[in-house]
Chains A and B, each alone.
Chain A
Amino acid sequence: MSETVKQGKRLDHRLPEKFMPTIDYELCRVCKRCVNDCSYQALEFRESRVVPSGGCVACGRCIAVCPANCIEIRPVPPQFAPHGNWSERSRRAILAQSSSGGVLLSSCGADDEHPSIFDDLLLDAAQVTNPSIDPLREPVETVTYLGRRPGHLEVRDGKVIIREDDTPLIRMDMPLMFGHISLGSVSYNAQKALFMAAKELNIVAGSGEGGLHPDFYQYADRICSEVASGRFGIKPEYLKGVAAVEIKIGQGAKPGHGGHLPGEKVTTMISETRMIPLGTDALSPYPHHDIYSIEDLAQLISLLKESTEYRLPVGVKIAAVHNVGAIASGLVRAGADFLTVDGYKGGTGAAPRVIRDHAGLPIEVAIAAVDQRLTREGLRNRVTVCAGGGIRSSADMIKALALGADVVMVSTAAMIAMGCRVCQQCHRGLCSWGIATQREDLCVRLNSEVAADRIVRLFRAWNEELREVLGAMGIDAVESLVANRDRLRYRGPNPKIAEVMGVKHIGEGWG
């Protein structure tokens, strides 16, 4: 009987477009630069004109290269029947997943519209009882040191003893570092730009876990080498000349998750730098398989300190998770000279969407939790706390400092400075800006020097803004802002958050 029931035709449920590049044909000179530059092949030349061919991700490359300024990328209006619970996002996810059957991947940070707690914080300023300071006329210092601190100075027989060698520190001109972005996840030119900028700004840049290309040894004194679970590219040169070494336990965008660089991206250069066979997948295990406990971590820290002859600070990076305070305390006791805490809005080159969007802790809360915990245990003045994950502006940076971070880590902002438009397609390796790709024809689109200059200008401007705010607060050195939660007030919807962070509510003053 059932064979008589007719089956529907096979339909491959193509999803409606999200973005539509539209071309003003009156202005278009038909130069086809947009067609050539679109690595997503969302534009084609047909019947003497350029037409959209689907799959636009709004990377904005076409707009940037169009000499006639005739392209506009329009978000396509909702193509789904409105429903309060079944958002377009959720329906798209189901349709995509029922087509592919796979884990949905995405890149960059969590893109949900959950409000940032940074936006709920207001800064204080000095009035009358303490004078504000004009940073253009008087010194306002932003020099920051990264590493372990002794807690107190020793005095013996009336002599002050300085044990400099026990605690190597890195000096930076501003309380900022670039996060870990590996060669592999980004192109050679992109990583070079980051290193050049770090050198110029006199700050530190993370190497990512992809090893260090021999061309970049010249920037080594500004590079923090990452030792991740894959142990890629770890050799004497990777550890010895650098500024610091950091063990990566987790990443804010994908806490508890490892890494996967597909074999097609493992070019000759990547294979040599990572010290893995050409064309094989580079897999970073989820945990370090020699670290199943805090005491194992302590051993790896000792090992790295021993192999670098105690000349480098050795840090540990963790994703912000619910017990981040207790974990941070364990890291300090295990011997970490600095900690890096990465919030759930932190960026990534590729992550399962379910983890990216649903796991971890907002960095604002994590910073305050770590600072409070370490302070309570009398450990806070021994270590440097770095924090990042979704830092979008100098205001976010300043608030992160005031919440309790010594150093703020940024990555996405630096990528945007060099051209990234946060289209969240890094995992596809088609980056039209030559940043998150290994395709040679795309890589050559990025000029390291131009990109480095843009990064330098951006963060110099942030530093000026930091100095302006410090001056307005009547503070003339950035260390007096760090963990000065007294100078913050919360104006958001949930006072419990303020309470947890140890920040007063707006309107609460002294006496």
Chain B
Amino acid sequence: MKEQNGEYGRVDRNGLPVRTENYVASRPPAWQGQMGGCGIASCISLKGERIPGDRIARMLTIMEERENGLGAGYACYGLFPDRKDQYCLQFFFDDEEGKRNVEEFLDGRISVHHDEKVFTREQTTIAPPYPLVWRYFASVTEKREWRGARDLSEDDYLVELVKHINEKVEKAFCVSSGKDMAVFKGNGYSYEIADLYDVERYSGTMWLSHSRFPTNSPAWWAGSHPMSLLDWGVCHNGEITSYGVNRRLVEMNGYRCTVLTDTEVVAYLWDLLVRRNGLPVEVAAFAMAPWTYQDIALMSPGHRRLAEWIRITYKEAFLNGPFSIIVGRSQPETTLIALTDRKKLRPMIAGLSPDGGTAYCASEECAIRIVEPDAQTWTPEAGNPFVAVVGKGILRRGTEHPFQGVKI
């Protein structure tokens, strides 16, 4: 039967039919989350130079065994130097009606300075339907009230709006909402997504990217990675076995899980721990991938106390199970964080270009070598974050003591 075999005859590398169910902004019916393996790659210019999009596309597409054509995406930071103080809200719309719904909702709630259609090719090998992709440059209004809460911070206000859109507004999904960044993702192979958005036309100081090998979920454009909230972008390879626990923590703190993936929860956790609770990145990383109590007992007394208190206080933030994640943010500075689970059950390798100008993190070494054959590479330790900042360099290689630089 034609329907079942794929209307467009789409097959994967091994000749197996690819599911034709394809959802764009609207959540697939009975969607309950997804699982699978993935490839992740990222690069950051330590000197603040602009890296062209084809570079990240080459990094990602070389890891072809890590994807099966059901989702890939890119996030670019330092993308809008002329509008870097404005939020860039980038949307998937099922159709014009979704666009009208969102514009109606946003009217009066934010001030839009400029909006434009995001370039997508009309013809690609990806199975339709394609979303209408649109971006709005906006700043939030003076009056920031949401459901009785007044004087919300600009970020909190925007988070509420985005949560509402993704949960309630039909035929629309806000894909990214940060300053000076945007997410380009969809349902296809990494090279197809690069081609669809023509990522070559963009350049930025930092790129994150992700390709998926989902095992069993219908394709949903909005469910692809990177997952983003405000300027946070998260690419995640793994399956969080503690998802049910982590989800409760973010929901207790007012987040609403709309995509129902562990990656979404990881993005919210970073926002909660670092932006809202103000924790240093090292402390947040330790909460997500803590040492064992046995190892903590060997720390110095001050560090031991800190480590135990992080574990006790944030036990619901502990991400259990295999993961390796790449996290980006543009505020206050463009930062790249790479972290694996505490057993390092998923791969992560870091690299530095010979001139010391560009740093890389990826699932596989080939992703780095393809663009930087002579890079110096090393493996960050299990549960030990790699941190690099545009204009500042590598702050942590992922081999230091977990609390190096943390003030207590």
Binding site for B on A (CB under 8 A): 126, 128-131, 133, 138-139, 141, 143, 145, 149-153, 155, 158-160, 162, 164, 169, 375, 378, 380-381, 473-477, 479-487, 508-511
A175 to chain B, nearest CB (A): 12
Please state if A145 and B252 are interface contacts (CB–CB under 8 Å): no
A474 to B279, CA, bound (A): 28
Interface residue tally for chain B (C-beta within 8 Å): 53
A108 to B37, CA, bound (A): 50
If the complex has contacts A126-B241, A381-B252, are A162 and B280 also in contact, measured as CB distance less than 8 A? no
Please state if B252 and A378 are interface contacts (CB–CB under 8 Å): yes
Is B67 positioned at the interface, with any CB of A under 8 Å from its CB? no
Please state if B320 and A152 are interface contacts (CB–CB under 8 Å): no
Q: Which 5 A-B pairs have the closest CB atoms?
A: A511-B217, A486-B244, A480-B242, A480-B320, A484-B244
Residue in chain A with minimal CB distance to B309: A162
Partner of B215, one of A129, A145, A153, A483: A129
A151 to B37, CA, bound (A): 32
Is B123 positioned at the interface, with any CB of A under 8 Å from its CB? no
Residue in chain B with minimal CB distance to A160: B408
Partner of A143, one of B33, B216, B293: B293
Please state if A149 and B313 are interface contacts (CB–CB under 8 Å): yes
Partner of B321, one of A130, A141, A153, A164: A130
Residue in chain A with minimal CB distance to B302: A162
A481 to B245, CA, bound (A): 7
If the complex has contacts A141-B292, A160-B306, A485-B244, are A511 and B33 also in contact, measured as CB distance less than 8 A? yes
Is B315 positioned at the interface, with any CB of A under 8 Å from its CB? yes
A116 to chain B, nearest CB (A): 22
Please state if A484 and B277 are interface contacts (CB–CB under 8 Å): no
If the complex has contacts A474-B320, A477-B320, are A131 and B408 also in contact, measured as CB distance less than 8 A? no
14 sample A-B contacts, Cβ–Cβ < 8 Å, listed by A number: A130-B241, A141-B294, A160-B283, A162-B305, A162-B306, A162-B309, A164-B305, A375-B251, A381-B249, A486-B243, A509-B32, A511-B33, A511-B35, A511-B217
Measured between beta carbons, the chain A residues less than 8 angstroms from B9 are: none
Partner of B407, one of A160, A476, A484, A487: A160
Please state if A475 and B321 are interface contacts (CB–CB under 8 Å): yes
Partner of A152, one of B32, B238, B277, B293: B277
Partner of B315, one of A129, A158, A159, A479: A479
Is B50 positioned at the interface, with any CB of A under 8 Å from its CB? no
A149 to B321, CA, bound (A): 24
A474 to B323, CA, bound (A): 12
B168 to chain A, nearest CB (A): 19
Please state if B33 and A155 are interface contacts (CB–CB under 8 Å): no
Measured between beta carbons, the chain A residues less than 8 angstroms from B252 are: 375, 378, 380-381
Measured between beta carbons, the chain A residues less than 8 angstroms from B320 are: 474-477, 480
If the complex has contacts A479-B318, A483-B244, are A139 and B34 also in contact, measured as CB distance less than 8 A? no
Is B124 positioned at the interface, with any CB of A under 8 Å from its CB? no
From residue 6 to 60 of chain B, which have CB atoms closer than 8 A to chain A? Answer: 28, 30-37
Measured between beta carbons, the chain A residues less than 8 angstroms from B35 are: 129, 510-511
Is B310 positioned at the interface, with any CB of A under 8 Å from its CB? yes
Measured between beta carbons, the chain A residues less than 8 angstroms from B305 are: 162, 164
Measured between beta carbons, the chain A residues less than 8 angstroms from B253 are: 378
Q: From A133, A169, A480, name the one whose CB has the most chain B CB atoms within 10 angstroms.
A: A480
A482 to B315, CA, bound (A): 10
B33 to chain A, nearest CB (A): 5
A12 to B50, CA, bound (A): 100
Please state if B345 and A131 are interface contacts (CB–CB under 8 Å): yes
Please state if B345 and A511 are interface contacts (CB–CB under 8 Å): no
A149 to B309, CA, bound (A): 9
Measured between beta carbons, the chain B residues less than 8 angstroms from A479 are: 245, 311, 315-316, 318
Measured between beta carbons, the chain B residues less than 8 angstroms from A139 are: 292, 294
Residue in chain B with minimal CB distance to A473: B241
A108 to B242, CA, bound (A): 36
B238 to chain A, nearest CB (A): 8
Please state if B239 and A155 are interface contacts (CB–CB under 8 Å): no
Measured between beta carbons, the chain A residues less than 8 angstroms from B113 are: none
A133 to B342, CA, bound (A): 13
Is B83 positioned at the interface, with any CB of A under 8 Å from its CB? no
If the complex has contacts A153-B310, A474-B320, A482-B245, are A510 and B217 also in contact, measured as CB distance less than 8 A? yes
A153 to B308, CA, bound (A): 12
If the complex has contacts A160-B306, A378-B252, are A484 and B322 also in contact, measured as CB distance less than 8 A? no
Measured between beta carbons, the chain B residues less than 8 angstroms from A155 are: 277-280
Is B144 positioned at the interface, with any CB of A under 8 Å from its CB? no
A250 to B391, CA, bound (A): 62
